[in-house]
Amino acid sequence: MARYVLKFGGTSVANVTRLRHVAHIIKKQADAGHQIIVVVSAMAGITNELVDYAHSLCPDKLSPEHDVVLSSGEQVTSGLLALALSQLGLKSRSYLAWQVPILTDDTPSQARILTIPTQGLEACLSQNIIPVIAGFQGLNPQNRLTTLGRGGSDTTAVALAAALAADRCDIYTDVDGVYTADPRLVAKACKLPQITYAEMFEMAAQGAKVLQARSVELAMKHKVKLRVLSSFVEVSGTDVVEERNFVESTCISGIADNQNEVRITVKGIPNQVGMVAEIFGSLAQNSIPLDMIVQNQVIDGRVDLTFTLRQSDLERAQHVLKDLQKKLPFSHLEIDPDIVKISVIGIGMRSNLEMGSLLFKTLADHNIAIQLITTSEIKISVILDKQHTDLAVNALHQAFQLERG
Amino acid sequence: MARYVLKFGGTSVANVTRLRHVAHIIKKQADAGHQIIVVVSAMAGITNELVDYAHSLCPDKLSPEHDVVLSSGEQVTSGLLALALSQLGLKSRSYLAWQVPILTDDTPSQARILTIPTQGLEACLSQNIIPVIAGFQGLNPQNRLTTLGRGGSDTTAVALAAALAADRCDIYTDVDGVYTADPRLVAKACKLPQITYAEMFEMAAQGAKVLQARSVELAMKHKVKLRVLSSFVEVSGTDVVEERNFVESTCISGIADNQNEVRITVKGIPNQVGMVAEIFGSLAQNSIPLDMIVQNQVIDGRVDLTFTLRQSDLERAQHVLKDLQKKLPFSHLEIDPDIVKISVIGIGMRSNLEMGSLLFKTLADHNIAIQLITTSEIKISVILDKQHTDLAVNALHQAFQLERG
């Protein structure tokens, strides 16, 4: 008998038909004699709707009330799936985060899990009851609801798998694994049978939507075996592992594209000590994470600062920066929403200097201008004009010989 | 300084515009120096949607999971309204039932409030924070969510007003008070400035949708002053009081119509001891409340039993009765969904025998056949063919001289 955490994303539970189908997937595992813990997201589209409501009432800041509103979606799914399981004759019950409890810190909208006492869940499992846990939610020290950030249900699933010492954490989604590039952009994209935690983390961080980056980080830390697979088709998925078998010659695991970022340049900042800290500090205080950051050269005692952030944070970031302008008289903001971030990812990167050259040469050959560059041990990311997305991803996929799969 | 509980129903919080308007109503009371406790329903339409989901997954019985699904609607509203209040510069926070806590028994979908510890809310009020409490929800002894039945937010509001010794409980809705009849049916219906608890209870129980009957019962028991008023127009509402001032000659307070019931006749039941208890016991065990009940005469050792129940319970009732047929071989079921229950209500009924005669004569004069009759101290109800609703209500409204208002 093995113990598995099964997590089902928003499209997997989008309607009553899908919920019934998911119940059958769970039943199959339970019938095989395994102990099953289920984690669910909100039904597809619900969270966006709730975000819109909250945003139109309170556009300029995040409060604990946003978490109260947003976490309701997962509550609905957990109750509905428990109903669907009981209709198949399985014993099950829903658990909300405050009932488990999943204890977090008190950062609104981006809470971090502190600990998960498991006595209640263990008692539930020992009675052959399948717990259906609302993902994405937590309970803070003030006894109030928190949420774990977009895609937070993945983190809930991995944290539970770690706390309950599960044999594996299966992430069911609407794609059947991790691909070398977005299959909607690259017709020849191949599914990877295996990918390392480090590569998966970069893929997720750079825009591949299949897993939340934080959940991969957590899985890596606690050595939780992860499997990404589809709830729509029954085919083998992708295993996220510590070290992958090098059966292929390429050292690049994939190409990620992220079209949900926007570039901001703060122009003409007086070049004084602490100025950068002031700007980034204000954004951080408002829980606005930045991605790529570039500081230009000082000209006439003034400097430009360029960074990228999520489109969904743009409005709040503009508020924060306009406020800051009173204290730090920069000249103006330049905003470009028409960008794409393309990242080439692979554990081979660190030992292979030619990868960067190949990336830049390929883009140059296609007359694609690079706006920003960042690199890490296992990835290179570039910002391009959004219109080049298709051309760039396909050209790079071919150049890095990812088609052979 | 007075302490008021303000309760806002589904249409009052149906969208972001309505929520902002409600926030202004609350601000006006808070600015006048009053202590305000807010109770909210789900946004109009949400609960029906959630019921449909749960029902299509599990049509034949109610489980605690239904409560988990259904209670999410009020959670959303409480968070959103707290956001709207904070945008007006008011200190506020949402409270879910498990946070207050509102402690109930463990009857799924129809839980009863046992007690409400108020230390948390009192501390909140003493810091000038307006609590926005999710109505309709409760927490049972097993630490699981419950719901209080349709319209349960009224009961939450009244129970909180009693527990917190509030000076009044204002029920904001989409009508501006209690009328002598449904204004959509009777053009000359008049708003009542006052109505007694007993009359209001019967009006609610007999189908007037303005207040949940249980909440009126609770208000009567704890002498909570109730006011029914509109969140859409600023006019005086109706006060629900212990004794009303008889400024008018009529002793009838109003006419209620209920088109949401269905009539079932169980035909040809073997006439044996305990047979009625068997049938009603089975329905009660499945939490299906009956309204009017009539047992026909025994013919050839067999008897017919007729009763009415809510349309929404019909499908489950049919299941229960079909099951019962194996044990208690009745011949068949007759179901008539095309009925209306019309009730004439007034504290004068008990001392005025002519009221019944006037009711029956009026219907006879209009050739309207009566199918069933029940009476109580302060009301007479009749079941008619649904097509006569309009004619019957208007004829009775005129006959009982309710137009003078």
pLDDT value of residue B303? 82
* Chain A partners within 8 Å of B80 (Cβ): 53-54, 57, 65, 69
**Rounded CA separation A148/A150 (Å):** 7
- Per domain, the residue ranges of chain B are 3-174
Reported ipTM: the value is 0.77
Fold of B3-174: Carbamate kinase (3.40.1160)
> Rounded to two decimals, what is the model's pTM?
0.81
- Nearest in space to A53 (alpha carbons), one of B115, B253, B373, B76: B76
Where do we find the tokens 């209306």? B340
Do the Cβ atoms of A93 and B53 come within 8 Å?
A: no
DSSP label at residue B311: G
Among B59-68, B71-80, B240-249, B255-264, name the most confident range: B71-80
Closest approach of chain A CAs to the CA of B89, in angstroms?
Answer: 12
Mutate to test the interface with B, among A13, A15, A47, A76 (most CBs of B within 10 A): A76
Residues of B whose CB is below 8 A from A56: 16
Question: Tens of pLDDT along B126-145?
Answer: 999 999 999 999 999 999 99
Q: Are B33 and B167 in contact (CB under 8 A)?
A: no
Using one digit for the tens of pLDDT, what is the confidence trace for B302-357?
A: 888 888 999 989 999 999 999 999 888 899 999 999 999 999 988 766 566 677 77
- Report, as ranges of residue numbers, the positions in chain A whose pLDDT lies below 70: 245-251, 297, 348-353, 404-405
Which residues of chain B have a CB within 8 Å of the CB of A65?
79-80, 82-83, 86, 93-94
Do the Cβ atoms of B137 and B155 come closer than 8 Å?
Answer: no
Q: Give the tens place of pLDDT for each residue, A254-306.
A: 899 999 999 999 988 887 777 777 888 888 888 788 888 877 767 778 888 88
Segments of B41-148 assigned E as strands: 92-95, 103-104, 113-115, 130-134, 137-139, 145-147
Contact B317, B325 (CB under 8 A): no
pLDDT at A207: 75
Instruction: Choose among A69, A94, A98: nearest Cβ to B80.
Output: A69
**Out of A64, A69, A83, closest to residue B58 by CB:** A83
Q: Is residue B405 over pLDDT 60?
A: no
- How far apart are alpha carbons A101 and A93 in whole angstroms? 15
Q: What is the pLDDT of residue B249?
A: 46
d(CA B250, CA B258): 23
The CA-atom distances, in angstroms, between A376 and each of A344, A356, B147 are 10, 11, 52
Residue of B16, B51, B57 for testing the chain A interface, max A β-carbons within 10 Å: B57
| DSSP state string for A190-246 | -EESEEEHHHHHHHHHTT-TTS-HHHHHHHHHHT--EEEEESSS-S--EEEESS---
- Mean pLDDT score of chain B, rounded to an integer? 90
